[in-house]
């Protein structure tokens, strides 16, 4: 039994995943246009915030969505 080889501890370790390279953002890249819902939400949010000053962002979002 002493002649048997066991796998070394190096073989038992999981292989590290290759890291993805993050693309650098171009500072001169044009901005994406704002969606119609985002424009609607901005306008509606101001009115709802005026009626419910203590409402959280989540509460306001639920009211706008309904």
Which letter, b or e, does each residue of 50-60 get, where b requires 16 or more Cβ atoms within 10 Å of its Cβ? eeeeeeeeeeb
Can you give the pTM of this predicted structure? 0.47
φ, ψ dihedrals at 47, nearest 5°: -65, -45
Chain-centre distance for alpha carbon 55: 24
Counting every residue written for the chain, the total comes to: 66
Residue (of 41, 43, 32) closest to 62 by Cα position: 41
CA atoms within a 13 Å half-sphere pointing along the CA-CB vector of 8: 2
Average confidence (pLDDT) per 10 residues, the chain, 66 residues: 62 71 84 90 88 87 86
């Amino acid at each position: 039994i002493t002649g048997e080889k066991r796998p070394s501890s190096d073989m038992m370790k999981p292989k590290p995943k290759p890291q993805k390279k993050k693309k650098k953002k171009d500072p001169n890249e044009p901005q994406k246009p704002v969606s119609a819902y985002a424009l609607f939400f901005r306008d509606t949010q101001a009115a709802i915030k005026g009626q419910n000053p203590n409402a959280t962002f989540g509460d306001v979002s639920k009211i706008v969505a309904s």
